[in-house]
Amino acid sequence: MQDILEELERRRGRARLGGGEKRIATQHAKGKLTARERIDLLLDEGSFEEFDMFVEHRATEFGMAEQKIPGDGVVTGWGAIGGRQVYVFSKDFTVFGGSLSGAHAQKIVKIQRQAMKVGAPVIGIYDAGGARIQEGVESLAGYADIFLENVMASGVVPQISVIMGPCAGGDVYSPAMTDFIFMVKDTSYMYVTGPEVVRAVTHEEVTHEELGGARVHAGRSGVADGAFDNDLEALSQVRRLVDFLPLSNREKPPIRQSYDDPGREEPSLDTLVPADADKPYDIKELISKVVDEADFFEVSPDWAKNIVTGFARMDGQPVGVVANQPLALAGVLDIDASRKAARFVRFCDAFGFPIVTFVDVPGFMPGTRQEYGGLITHGAKLLFAYAEATVPKVTLITRKAYGGAYDVMSSKHLRGDVNYAWPTAEIAVMGAKGAVEIIFREDAKDPEKLKAREAEYKARFANPFVAASLGYLDDVIMPRETRKRLVRALKGLRGKELSNPWKKHDNIPL
């Protein structure tokens, strides 16, 4: 009997070793942790329940029959983050470079399906070389099975991907269909085809880092939502993110006890907006001063900086925050900002986050680069996302709300529930200077007259009271009272119920 029990331990020890001591040492030498070390850091201590530790691949060609490693390159199971259940899979680069076999894929699909049944997030940790080259179509089939479950799970349970090594082929498309992608600087890469293929096809010389490093995807392409210095930091940020999220769409985001006075006033906000309308200020100062304990989890901080997106709590209620950032491109809406915010708004709506929108926007970005790039389609994404969202929507206009961008940014007309403005708000078709140059063209040669016209236009429209008189704003509020007013608005909306007409699905301009 003792022999049988020992055999189990022996087999487990073999599986835990993955590709062996030598490959583990190589992994460490590259500044990377192993698949199991990553799971240990991600989950609450001792909470991991492993599945399928003894699964082996079924390939026989190219000498594969003699190379079987239990677990087959991915560690899967479930555990807890902050006491709440999550499912996890972690690719083991020490086993065939973490590449995906049919058996490896089945392990992941099992996790994905069970997470959907139970109603718990799926976190995938990637460090993998794509399809297992020795397996051919079985590997491709395995990827497709995973992709299908990614799509089925989208909007049902949160899906998070953490990229911690080189990822190519199928190991970038599955993350691309999840809700959030985090990368690690200098050790992780994402590309559809690597530098060698790029060289062969386009004769372009490019390094791994230049082609698909964390800085590229978190700052330039927008594929990743965050770039972190090392494995440890990335995993601790995943824990922080999960803390805001509901486990599935069957529940609401978790309300926590707040120790920050909901009625706290911030006198400094009265002077946040500069007297000169062309001067920028940092919208993140407003965000950190009104949310609980200045705790703001920013999503995609390095991409499309002209719009800020992220999670915070207001009197314990988790909210999604979207804010134009006057510090970057004057807060204009361009292609990237529209895409970034639209995706975030849709995530919030799918998982029941009330959306708090701070508006200071001069309009959409003009120019051929934007128009040729499809600004109309991409800008429409944000408009569409706000319009279809049925979660509570609370909006505050701090300064400019010009043109179509006024409509787009969670206006009353798109079913904004509570719409406030500061006294410094300017709601108009465009800025006063541009407006008078168009409607008083006959005065163009007389700068004095034009100036007077500008002053007249400003006095008439550069304030929130026209919109307030029409009921498009619910109130004009004192900046120092913003936290109190937003908290009350959100509390008042907790019972909100709203649904859109039945449809198979909408046709958002992708």
* Percent helix / strand / coil, the chain, rounded to 5: 45, 20, 35
Which residues share a beta bridge with 320? 311, 355
The H or E element that residue 356 is part of is strand 355-361
The least distance separating ligand HXC from the CB of residue 24, rounded to whole angstroms, comes to 12
Of 106 and 288, which CB lies nearer to ligand HXC in the complex structure?
106
From CA 222, how far away is CA 415, in angstroms rounded?
Answer: 29
Catalytic site residue from 405, 462, 467, 489: 405
Amino acid identity, residue 246?
A: P
Considering the rule CB under 6 A, would residue 57 count as an interface residue with ligand HXC?
A: no
- The 3-state secondary structure of 404-415, one letter per residue: HHHHHCCCHHHC
- Catalytic residue flag (residue 219): no
- When binding is defined by CB under 6 A, the residue of 48, 58, 114, 173 that contacts ligand HXC is 173
Minimal distance in Å, beta carbon 354 to ligand HXC?
A: 36
470: CB partners within 8 A, 6+ apart: none
CA distance 163 to 169: 13
Q: Name 34's Cβ contacts closer than 8 Å, sequence gap at least 6.
A: 18, 24, 27, 28, 92, 94
Q: Does 177 bind ligand HXC (CB under 6 A)?
A: no
Residue 32 or 399 with smaller CB distance to ligand HXC? 32
**Is 77 an annotated catalytic residue?**
no
Catalytic residue among 155, 316, 404, 434: 404
Instruction: State which of positions 118-147 bind ligand HXC (CB under 6 A).
Output: 129-133, 140, 143
Is 310 annotated as catalytic? no
Burial of 229 per CB tally in 10 Å (0-12, 13-18, 19+): exposed
Contact positions with ligand HXC (CB under 6 A) in 86-125: 96-97, 99
The yes-or-no answer on residue 170 being catalytic is yes
| Nearer to ligand HXC (CB atom), residue 175 or residue 479 | 175
H helix or E strand, kind and range, residue 381: helix 375-388
Binding to ligand HXC, residues 149-168 (CB under 6 A): 166, 168
Query: Counting contacts by CB under 6 A, is residue 194 touching ligand HXC?
Result: yes
What is the DSSP pairing of strand 84-91 with strand 122-128? parallel
Give me the catalytic one of 79, 130, 170, 212: 170
CB of 26 to ligand HXC, least distance (A): 8
Residue 84: phi and psi, rounded to 5, are -110, 140
Which one of the listed residues 73, 169, 194, 226 is annotated catalytic? 169
Residue nearest to ligand HXC (CB): 169
- Give least dist CB 182 to ligand HXC, A: 19
- Give least dist CB 415 to ligand HXC, A: 38
Among 169, 253, 362, 379, binds ligand HXC (CB under 6 A): 169
Find, among 383, 470, 466, 365, the residue nearest to 425 by Cα.
Answer: 466
Q: Select 69 or 283, whichever has its Cβ closest to ligand HXC.
A: 69
Q: How far is the CB of 104 from ligand HXC (least distance, A)?
A: 11
Reduce the DSSP state of residue 311 to 3 states and report it: strand
- Parallel, antiparallel, or unpaired for β 418-421 and 393-402? parallel
Give 134 or 410: the residue with its C-beta nearer to ligand HXC. Answer: 134
Please list the active-site residues: 169-170, 404-405
Where do contacts with ligand HXC occur on this chain (CB under 6 A)? 96-97, 99, 129-133, 140, 143, 166, 168-170, 173, 194
